[in-house]
Amino acid sequence: MVGAVSDTCDLINFTYTVSFEVGGGAGPYTLTSGPSGSFAGNIFTSDPIPSGTAYAFEFFDANGCGPLLVEGQVTCECATDAGTMAAGLVEACADETAIADLSIGAVLDPEDILLYVVHNGTGPALGTEVYGYNSLPEFALIPPMQTGVTYYISAIAGNDFDLDGTIDTNDPCVSVAAGTPVLFHSLPEVSFVADATVCEGETATLTLSVQAESCVDITYTVSDGSSGSLTCVGDGDQIQVPAGTDNLVVDITGVTDLNGCTSLQFAQANIQVNLEPTATLEPTASVCNSTDSGMSTELNFDDFLLAGDLSGTWANTSGAAITGSFPTVNFDGATPGSYVFTYTTASALPPCSEQSFTMTVEVEDCVCPSLELSPAPPLCNNNGTVDLTNFEITSAPGIWSISGMPAGSNPATLNGTDFDAAGADPGTYELTFTLVNAPPVGCPTFNTLEVVVSEYLTAGVAGAEAEFCESSVQVVSLADLLIDADAGGAWAETSLVPSTPGAFNAGAGTFNTAGQTAASYTFSYTLDPDAPCPSEQTEVTVVVHPLPAVDAGDPGVLTCFEPEYTLNATADQGGFFQYSWSADDGSFPGDSTQLNPIINEAGVYTLTVTNTATGCMRSDQVVVTANQEVPVPFISISPVSCFGFDDGYIVVDSVVGGQPPYVYSLNGEPFSGSGFYPNLEASTYTLVVEDANGCANEPLIIDITQPQELNVELVAIIEGGGNVIRLGDSIELAALVNVPDSQIDSISWSPPLILSCDTCLNPTAYPLETTTFSVMVESNGCTDADALQIIVDKNRAVYVPNGFSPNGDGTNDIFYINAGPQVRRIRSFLVFNRWGETVFQYYQFEPNNPAYGWDGTFRGKLMDPAVFTWFAEIEFIDDRVEVFKGDVTLVK
């Protein structure tokens, strides 16, 4: 018959065991069919059975009766529950951590842990992408997560088999809670579309570029100490900044969108403030309208420019009757009166406008003798000499003098009427012709002649060629290539192969090498001084050298089978070319000076080829990847059941990393495709997993343990030690076991019939002959036994005195038999005198008792001293009967 069947589920391995008592018939019982298991007494417990798998056991008793059938099926139910997450949306900025509420109502098995995961699944299961785990429902934006996409923070519960703080997703009882939705907002970005240029006193307009999920609030500061803010600014909105006379810098100091997200990058704009041009004029001037008095009717309006812009233009505002062109005009024949002339500047920088200023010229009526002179042509100071009489129209005699000259230390000279400007300071010289004879009163006595001396200018000589490489970006100041050249000339490109449009800036005299092909570029510098000085021209050269050819080669892949790769680069070769390899993340793992080095590390490698003749270099990159990920095995082990057994095993449950298929080796044995190693004895093993790329883990050291050796020692507790006792003695035996009594399942002694107890640790034995005792103990299915031989000394210890003195002194008064415990009884004890007459006899008594001895009397009378003969028939406890005899002397 079968008692109640109990079952126990193991939710870690998802198995169950059943246990029940088998009764009836004659024990012990034998399991003949069905899953394996073991008996403890009459209680049968199965080995683990996969959940949901049916069982059927058949038992026979010791007499072969049976079978007894026990069958059933158990399905283990998971209790793990990750609980419930809040359903409300959690929002965070891209640089913040999204924090969801903790899971509510989670239920965990003893081996379970609860973690949180961020993923793209909407329901109670992990999505196709899992981005991170955490012990709290707190997550930042983890690449490749994106802003504007809804993700979910879920609680996940399950077993932590290897106690590494992570959940084994292969656990059939893993539970995932429907997640809390989380949305990350992108950070707003604001920049200025362009800088601004304004005229002094105007307001600058700066246009904003806004990249954000909503309009933004901004704050900004201006370098003049002012600041401002704008709310809900969108793309294309503008900031208005009043300008004074100084250039300004505007910095955006804060950007916040409607989601509360703040920019981590700030923008800056420059405001160029251009000043309005100015000019200072003589307020008034006077001039004659006739040369009759010898006074000039001409005015040089440049003479009235005192300061400011000197490059402007004059206008006859009042419409005076003048001839000539500004700056020198003639008022001959003009109507006397006051006339306004306007000077307009020509140096305004956009967006500033030109400014106008006025002066008044008083035209006087003058009729005087003629002192007319013809204008003098300009002279060049490289070789300018002129006879001033050539300019005398008047016939009146006069004397020439220099009455005005430009600033400088080398003025022109006058020798009589010869004006010598060779080497003289350039500028306008005023020469005065004074009448020798005084004119009528009120008429001028002299006239002046202006001679303009132009400065001779040189274009200098060309310096050394400027040399650059084809890829360089350099703005060359062409003036730096000239030696001793005067400023103010004009540049022009004279290259046989012209440069790209925009590279040459004639106005600035610069050449930008960016994007230019390898060639020699030539540029002329031309100076056109004021007439009559001749033009000058010099040519300079900028050389752009070609870059070396370089190709870093094909991408490579490293595996554990092929741990090295030869970089198959190609490049220009020859004595002028040098090679240099470098690695993006550290030192180059090879000979960096070779064109085709051998490397053994993955990385991004750059080859730089340098033309030592020109200094030009060019680089190219190649990527070498590695499929050398080391496989990591996850194993299960079963220890040895009993000390010295070989029933342990190792099984590789899974392998993470590397490239399948995998092969396995235990303790250096040849690799095979099986990761199951049974029948192992207790020892330390090393397991190596190798993947398809030949990559192997560091040997995993695995200890197959065994329980403490069950050890029983059988000892006899004998005073003085040894294992010898006398016949009739009992002996206490002791089974000394090296485990606590509570761990001992059973004790068995042999032979049991002469023991006080055959199931205890300390029985008492009663051997009548030399006997070998044995004991066997069992603990957790493991057994040990020991044996001890007890030698029984059968020397018949019978002690009979050879004399006694029955004199009543209390000492040795009785003649009786003494014996050891091996004597069961005295069957008969007889004493004879020398004539053979029986003087004492006693039957069936125990030794060592004076009551059963002879007191020396016969028929009530004390015998005289004599020698008597005695006989004793003695029965021993081993059923042996022996007859002892001897003599005893009676003395008084």
Query: Is the pLDDT reported for residue 185 higher than 80?
Result: yes
Per CATH, is 277-368 categorized as 3.10.20?
Answer: no
CA 390 to chain centroid: 93
CA 257 to chain centroid: 31
pLDDT value at position 760? 93
Query: Is the pLDDT reported for residue 62 higher than 80?
Result: yes
Amino acid identity, residue 630? V
> Which has the higher per-residue pLDDT, 443 or 448?
448
Mean pLDDT (the chain, rounded): 91
Token couple for 464: 């050394």
pLDDT value at position 3? 82
Same fold, 461-545 and 632-704: yes
Q: With cut-offs at 50, 70 and 90, classify the pLDDT of residue 162.
A: low
pLDDT value at position 444? 77
Query: Is the pLDDT reported for residue 82 higher than 60?
Result: yes
Residues in the chain: 892
End-to-end alpha-carbon separation of the chain, Å? 82
pLDDT value at position 367? 61
Q: Mind listing the pLDDT tens digit for each residue in 819-860? A: 988 899 999 999 999 998 999 999 999 999 999 999 999 998
Phi, psi of 481 (to 5 degrees): -95, 0
Q: Measured between alpha carbons, how far is 47 from 434 in angstroms, rounded to an integer?
A: 143
pLDDT value at position 560? 86
Per CATH, is 189-274 categorized as 2.60.40.10?
Answer: yes
Q: What is the pTM of this model?
A: 0.37
Q: Measured between alpha carbons, how far is 746 from 724 in angstroms, rounded to an integer?
A: 28
CATH topology of domain 632-704: Immunoglobulin-like (2.60.40)
Looking at domain 550-627, its CATH architecture is: Sandwich (2.60)
pLDDT value at position 719? 82
Q: Mind listing the pLDDT tens digit for each residue in 376-415? A: 999 998 877 899 999 988 778 899 999 999 999 999 999 9
Q: Measured between alpha carbons, how far is 98 from 214 in angstroms, rounded to an integer?
A: 20
Q: Which residue has the tokens 């002012």?
A: 226
Looking at domain 712-793, its CATH architecture is: Sandwich (2.60)
Q: Measured between alpha carbons, how far is 345 from 281 in angstroms, rounded to an integer?
A: 12
Q: Mind listing the pLDDT tens digit for each residue in 489-501? A: 999 999 999 999 9
Cβ-in-10-Å burial (0-12, 13-18, 19+) of 538 comes to buried
Query: Is the pLDDT reported for residue 171 higher than 90?
Result: no
What share of the chain has pLDDT > 90, as a percent?
Answer: 73
Domain map of the chain by residue range?
6-73, 90-185, 189-274, 277-368, 371-455, 461-545, 550-627, 632-704, 712-793, 798-890
Q: Mind listing the pLDDT tens digit for each residue in 540-590? A: 999 999 999 999 999 999 888 889 999 999 999 888 899 999 999 889 999
> Which has the higher per-residue pLDDT, 877 or 830?
830
Q: With cut-offs at 50, 70 and 90, classify the pLDDT of residue 4.
A: confident
Look at residue 390 and give its three-state secondary structure.
helix
Per CATH, is 798-890 categorized as 1.10.3470?
Answer: no
The CATH number of the structural domain formed by 371-455 is 2.60.40
Cβ-in-10-Å burial (0-12, 13-18, 19+) of 670 comes to exposed
pLDDT value at position 441? 54
Token couple for 683: 């020892």
Query: Is the pLDDT reported for residue 440 higher than 70?
Result: no
Question: CA-based Rg of the chain, rounded to a whole angstrom?
Answer: 64
Q: With cut-offs at 50, 70 and 90, classify the pLDDT of residue 288.
A: confident
- Mean pLDDT of the 269-297 span: 90
pLDDT value at position 652? 94
pLDDT value at position 368? 67
Tell me the CA distances in angstroms from 685 to 480, 655, 657, 676, 689, one per residue in order: 79, 18, 22, 13, 13
Looking at domain 461-545, its CATH architecture is: Sandwich (2.60)
What share of the chain has pLDDT > 70, as a percent?
Answer: 99
- Mean pLDDT of the 146-169 span: 86
Q: Which residue has the tokens 């060019």?
A: 618
Q: Measured between alpha carbons, how far is 639 from 626 in angstroms, rounded to an integer?
A: 38
Q: Measured between alpha carbons, how far is 828 from 313 in angstroms, rounded to an integer?
A: 175
> Which has the higher per-residue pLDDT, 180 or 718?
180
pLDDT value at position 165? 75
Query: Could you say which DSSP state residue 463 is in?
Result: -
Q: Is the CB of residue 648 less than 8 Å from the CB of residue 700?
A: no
Q: Measured between alpha carbons, how far is 739 from 42 in angstroms, rounded to an integer?
A: 24
